[in-house]
Amino acid sequence: MSEGLSDELARAEWRKAKASGANNGNCLEVASLSDGRVGIRDTEAPDQAPFVVRGSVWAAFVDGAKKGEFDF
């Protein structure tokens, strides 16, 4: 991970779903980053390196989740 990205992730404003309290901490947090990228991390492991994806990848994931494509 580049030093610039590391600094950006350290300063990022992480947010999680409003319903996360009902999930006993089993949540993901996301942060908007420069160049349209999105950081994704596990709330139970905030010190681990997050995934960073392009905004278009995040949008496709959210769209698929809304359509139920990832339901078990």
Q: Is residue 16 part of a domain?
A: yes
Q: Is residue 71 part of a domain?
A: no
Q: Is residue 35 part of a domain?
A: yes
* Whole-angstrom Cα Rg for the chain: 13
Q: What is the DSSP secondary-structure string of 32-55?
A: E-GGG-EEEEETT-TTSPPEEE-H
Domain that holds residue 12: 3-66
Q: Is residue 40 part of a domain?
A: yes
Q: Is 8 left (phi over 0), alpha (psi -120 to 50) or beta?
A: alpha
Q: Is residue 32 part of a domain?
A: yes
Q: Is residue 20 part of a domain?
A: yes
Percent of the chain clearing pLDDT 70 (strictly above): 86
- Residue 1: predicted pLDDT: 58
Q: Is residue 28 part of a domain?
A: yes
Domain count, the chain: 1
* SS3 state at 7: helix
- Residue 15: predicted pLDDT: 94
Q: Residue 35 above 90 pLDDT?
A: yes
Q: Is residue 31 part of a domain?
A: yes
